Amino acid sequence: MNAPSGAGKDAGAELQALQAIETHHADMLRQLNGLVGLLTEAVEAQDAGSEEKTQAALLDWCDTHLVPHALAEEGSLYSGPHAMPGAKLLVDGMLAEHRVIVDLVEELRTASGVSAAVAAGAIQRIFALHLDKENRLLMPFVVESEDLSLAQAVTGLHELVGEGASGHHRQGHEGH
């Protein structure tokens, strides 16, 4: 099978894929900020019951959204630019950040109290920094590359573009 080819790619589809991932990243960061905020409040209030509940909710979200998102990226989105000299080092750095995020999720799983809040805060800040690199460096590289296609890389992957946007062109996407 050939690698995703950007030959003759459709600029509109590329832009649409870029926007879909950016929107999904923003949705993810909003959800993560909310969950981490609730855990931090519970720890500050020394409310053990609420701590347990908010930590479980955050872990569940990491297991069902954050980690699958990272793994899905490593397949289709990262492999193309990783094979190109202009982006190899960037992708190496991004992969290393994925490992740190996954390790922090495992740390959060067994932590409690202040340690759990510290791990949660680290996940939040590192993910924010990481997705900014994806939005501003990695995806524009793919869009501008003659040999790669962002639209092809994300086709059918709801982990990358969110529910309802995978594999289909979004209908009624309002400009803003």
Binding stretches for Fe ion (CB under 5 A): 73, 134
Closer residue to Fe ion in complex, CB, 51/134 = 134
Closer residue to Fe ion in complex, CB, 3/126 = 126
CB 18, min distance to Fe ion, A: 12
CA 134, CA 77: separation in Å to the nearest integer?
Answer: 10
Q: Count Cβ atoms below 10 Å from residue 102 Cβ, excluding itself.
A: 16
Closer residue to Fe ion in complex, CB, 78/119 = 78
User: 70: number of CA atoms within 13 Å, CB side?
Assistant: 22
CB 121, min distance to Fe ion, A: 19
CB 135, min distance to Fe ion, A: 8
Asked if residues 107 and 135 have their Cβ atoms less than 8 Å apart, the reply is: no
Closer residue to Fe ion in complex, CB, 19/50 = 19
Closer residue to Fe ion in complex, CB, 39/70 = 70
CA 157, CA 68: separation in Å to the nearest integer?
Answer: 10
Amino acid at 85: P
SS3 118: helix
Residue of 57, 67, 76 whose CA lies nearest to 101: 67
CB 70, min distance to Fe ion, A: 5
CB 72, min distance to Fe ion, A: 9
Asked if residues 134 and 91 have their Cβ atoms less than 8 Å apart, the reply is: no
Asked if residues 21 and 160 have their Cβ atoms less than 8 Å apart, the reply is: yes
